Structure 1
């Protein structure tokens, strides 16, 4: 159900009519084994039928009609959508998502307001302070970079459906090709239909972008406090002594975590991002996390 639920959620973002259409098609498909447009044309519109096919939930059955991909998972997802009172049908963001976004905005203030940064750093230090006493600071940064990379990868894997975006891009390419051919034969009627389809796809794309941004809110809610704690350690009361001479890849020896290495970027920031980027790629490959659009 991992890939089915996000597809149903995107349909729910389009309004209750789309989930009703999916429910109707699911019922007919389960009764007959397959479903065709003529079976449901009295109950749903042609646009809703096309949207179900585009979503990847309704797939061709070798020319003998269509079937619902993973009908049990679709039914569960529909029930979850109906049962969740916190889901906002207009945006597809639950109240928890919005609270996380609000919290993330508040955490951003820590970058510029010392009192907020000190409060966050002191709070996080309750958990990370003992670890800082056991590990060299460069090893601690590496551990935190692995932690944030792992949580980011898991959240993206669970909350993003790149196959849906891939299907959408394929549909856009198909429409561009049809538009080109219609122009070549001067078919104005076909061009009008294609332009209407493009407008509908652009609306769908906006909903997809909103959905894809959801994991970023949760990722930042975890990563910002960690990053602020490192900042607090380097500039606040946490790290009272300078770092010993260490050797960073590419940059060589540095004698202080506050040394500027790349413009305004200091040694601790560069080391954090080097660790984070490197280990995040390894973690995504190990977990087979897709971060680029793929066809379903």
Structure 2
């Protein structure tokens, strides 16, 4: 738990008595729990209370126990040594978080983007996608087909985000950055230039965490785009969107709320065409329903 390590380092910074208190608790808690009576003669009640307040000590069955003994020991080490170990560990985690399949999907996704502007590729993908999707269009009006596609993309997007994003790791990233900002604010208010310099160095080290959080967020997006871009290119191909494009199916006009009957390629919100407005309305609605129904929350939560 990097946040425990950071909290311990903050507590013992320039406070030898607090460092001694943490070491005493570590020594007495080797067998598990530690009670106030076990350390009463060696640390003050204020120091004991701060350890509980900061979450270094958490309630156990009969007394208190260390939330993370290893992280607590690391918090007693010099910042440079711990930061180096953390940086090395983060680098290893980031390298392993993206598999060969993830990287391959990213490359293919970049190639699929070309289809938006290059008609030959759009025609190829549209023709291939039309094989499984044209039977659906025979039974349903096109607006309903778009609804089905929006439902499908919303479902797999939610599942991919829930399964490919490490929410615990992202929570740790956010908590660490928030804690650094709070300590920076306190040091600035106290006029402690030495502490500000140390916190500035810690912020620079934490930039690796920011990169790690970005990679965690982008990983499911690669797979979402990998699956969704062909769907969009099929709609481009079917409706006839883009330069020199022609519609490949006869489509009835769309009826939009507050707008009435419009052509699929008619601009309804600035330059945004009717088909994309309809798709996003359906997608946003279905995605919210799916998340509520499956009780999936893709936002990081504090531990």
Tell me the TM-score normalized by structure 2. 0.66
Confirm or deny: 8 A CA contact 2:168 2:300 kept in the other structure: yes
2:122 to 96, 99, 117: 117
Deviation at 1:162, TM superposition (A): 3.3
Distance 2:107 2:33 in 1: 44
1:93 is aligned to 2:98: yes
Extract unaligned runs of 5+ from structure 1.
Answer: 1-6, 8-31, 37-57, 69-86
Give the superposed CA RMSD: 2.9
Residues 259 and 267, structure 1, Cα contact 8 Å, conserved in 2:
yes
Unmatched 5+ residue regions in structure 2?
3-29, 35-54, 70-91
User: Does 1:275 find its partner at 2:282?
Assistant: yes
Give the CA deviation at 1:118: 0.7
Q: Is the 8 A contact 1:117 1:232 kept in 2?
A: yes
Deviation of 1:98 after TM superposition, in Å, equals: 0.7
CA–CA distance in structure 2, aligned partners of residues 155 and 204 of structure 1: 22
8 A Cα contact 2:173 2:213, kept in partner: no
Q: Describe the superposition over 1:36-91 as per-residue Cα deviations: whole angstroms up to 9, x where unpaired.
A: 9xxxxxxxxxxxxxxxxxxxxx98543422459xxxxxxxxxxxxxxxxxx98647
Structure 2: how far apart are the matches of 1:226 and 1:262?
Answer: 22
- TM value normalised by structure 1: 0.68
Instruction: Note closer, same or farther for the CA distance 1:268–1:207 as it changes in structure 2 (3 Å cut).
Output: same
Residues 165-224 of structure 1: CA deviation (Å, up to 9, x unaligned): 333333323222222222333333322332232222222121111121100000000110
Q: CA deviation at 1:154?
A: 0.5
Cα deviation code 1:126-181 (max 9, x no counterpart): 11111111111000000001100111000001011334333333332322222222
Residue aligned with 1:250, SS:
coil
Query: 1:196 aligned to 198, 201, 221, which one?
Result: 201
Provide the residue aligned with 1:53 in structure 2. Answer: none
Larger radius of gyration: 2
Structure 1 position 205 matched with structure 2 position 214: no
